[in-house]
């Protein structure tokens, strides 16, 4: 006899399929996205926003030729208009790289996709030609022998947009499931649009990424203020991860499994209704069990 699936097995199965495949897409940049300063280097700065860390080069040692003291260079694309990377005219000791660079990773170190971007030139490349180079990394190791190239030959102020679509000038289709990305160009540039996708990022203020915002998160922030903004902790103290997961988008496969589980629940309940024994039968069955071994009267 075919038995219906137990209800206690179906419900956890549905929840598991949904929770483990929930995904989140973050679209940068807009005025509601706050950037928190995390670190400042000799020729770079690091900020945190929406669960991601961005480290970008700044020409801080630039003197302008007017004296020995560094004066740096003006930022033309400030947050939240985008993220600007500057070529380094005077590299710090131990470095010989002069390229403008942006390094992207998640605060929690998990893998994610670089789905699409728009880059704006802040210098001319039309004469010599230019390509944005993106190298994905996994556990600190280069993913490919060579970076992926995206054409960026043009003039100051010109923008170039790329996504996963096939394109001989560049495609982001291979930029999936890596834990960081290095983006280079030999002249100044800025990201003015950027889409990053991966598993749902936790609540703002959930610095230990355990699904809620509590005292442990404040301790994590005290040990390393770079994990995020303490104002996020104050705003979301006591909040569960459910709030963040409302915006999580289940993948198609997860949605199918969820619907399949719901169907199983429906069939299970119908079968119970059709085959449930009557009270009279149950009473007789229990009497037989209680008087097993006795002679019938």
Tell me what pLDDT residue 280 has: 47
Backbone angles phi, psi at 57, to 5 degrees: -80, 145
Q: Is the pTM of this model over 0.85?
A: no
Instruction: Give, in order, the Cα–Cα distances in Å from 62 to each of 99, 121, 147, 167.
Output: 14, 20, 28, 37
Q: Which residue has the higher pLDDT, 18 or 151?
A: 151
CATH number of domain containing 33: 2.60.120
How confident is the model over 67-93, as a mean pLDDT? 94
- Which pLDDT score, from 0 to 100, does residue 264 have? 62
DSSP 177-231: SBSEEEEEESS-EEEEEEEEEEEPP--TT-TT-SSB-SHHHHHHHHH-GGG--HH
pLDDT of 17 higher than 70: no
Residue 284 included in any domain: no
Exposure of 151 in the CB half-sphere (CA atoms within 13 A): 7
CA–CA separation, 92 and 95 (whole Å): 6
Per-residue confidence band for 41, with pLDDT thresholds at 50, 70 and 90: very high
Does pLDDT of 248 surpass 60? no
Mean pLDDT calculated for residue range 1-22: 45
Pull the structure tokens for residue 149: 């190239």
| Domain contains 44 | yes
Asked, for residue 262, whether it belongs to a domain, the answer is no
* Predicted confidence (pLDDT) per residue in 116-135, tens digit: 999 999 999 999 999 999 99
58 or 237: which leads in pLDDT: 58
The answer to whether residue 115 is domain-embedded is yes
Residue 190 lies in a domain: yes
Could you tell me if residue 224 is inside a domain? no
Whether 65 is in a domain gets the answer yes
DSSP label at 164? S
At 249 the pLDDT is 43
Residue 290 lies in a domain: no
Give residue 239's pLDDT. Answer: 67
**Over 70: is that where the pLDDT of 110 sits?**
yes
Model pLDDT for residues 150-209, shown as the tens digit of each residue: 999 999 999 999 999 999 999 999 999 999 999 999 999 999 999 999 987 667 787 765
- Ranked by mean pLDDT, the top range of 90-104, 178-192, 218-232, 273-287 is 178-192
Which helix (H) or strand (E) is 87 found in, with range? Answer: none
Percentage of the chain exceeding pLDDT 90 = 52
pLDDT tier at 24 (50, 70, 90 boundaries)?
confident
Number of domains in the chain: 1
Structural domain including 43 reads 24-201
Which pLDDT value is given to residue 289? Answer: 46
Measured CA to CA in angstroms, residue 244 lies from 51, 199, 206, 247 at distances of 12, 12, 11, 6
Distance separating the N- and C-terminal Cα atoms of the chain: 33
The predicted pLDDT at position 270 comes to: 57
pLDDT of residue 105: 97
State how beta strands 141-142 and 131-138 pair: antiparallel
CB within 8 Å of 96: residues ≥ 6 apart: none
Tell me what pLDDT residue 211 has.
60
Lowest mean pLDDT among 13-17, 155-159, 201-205, 239-243: 13-17
Pick 21 or 34 by higher pLDDT: 34
């Amino acid at each position: 006899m075919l038995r219906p699936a137990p209800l206690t097995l179906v419900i956890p199965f549905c929840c598991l399929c949904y929770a483990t495949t929930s995904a989140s897409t973050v679209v940068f940049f807009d005025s509601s996205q706050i950037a928190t300063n995390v670190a400042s280097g000799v020729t770079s700065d690091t900020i945190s926003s929406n669960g991601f860390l961005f480290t970008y080069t700044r020409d801080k040692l630039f003197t302008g030729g007017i004296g020995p003291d560094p004066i740096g260079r003006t930022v033309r694309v400030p947050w939240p208009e985008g993220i600007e990377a500057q070529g380094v005219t005077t590299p710090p000791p131990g470095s010989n790289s002069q390229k403008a660079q942006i390094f992207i990773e998640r605060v929690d170190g998990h893998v994610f996709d670089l789905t699409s971007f728009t880059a704006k030139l802040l210098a001319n490349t039309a004469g010599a030609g230019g390509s944005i180079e993106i190298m994905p990394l996994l556990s600190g190791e280069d993913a490919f022998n060579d970076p992926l190239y995206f054409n960026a030959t043009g003039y100051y102020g010109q923008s170039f947009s790329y996504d996963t679509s096939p394109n001989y000038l560049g495609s982001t289709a291979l930029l999936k499931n890596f834990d960081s990305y290095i983006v280079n160009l030999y002249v100044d540039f800025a990201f003015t649009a950027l889409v990053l996708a991966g598993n749902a990022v936790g609540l703002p203020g959930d610095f230990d990424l355990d699904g809620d915002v509590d005292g442990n998160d404040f301790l994590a922030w005290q040990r390393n203020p770079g994990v995020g903004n303490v104002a996020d902790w104050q705003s979301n103290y006591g909040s569960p991860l459910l709030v963040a997961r409302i915006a999580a988008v289940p993948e198609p496969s997860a949605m199918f499994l969820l619907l399949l589980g719901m169907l199983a629940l429906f069939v299970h309940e119908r079968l119970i209704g059709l085959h449930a024994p009557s009270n009279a039968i149950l009473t007789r069955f229990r009497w037989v069990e209680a008087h097993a071994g006795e002679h019938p009267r």
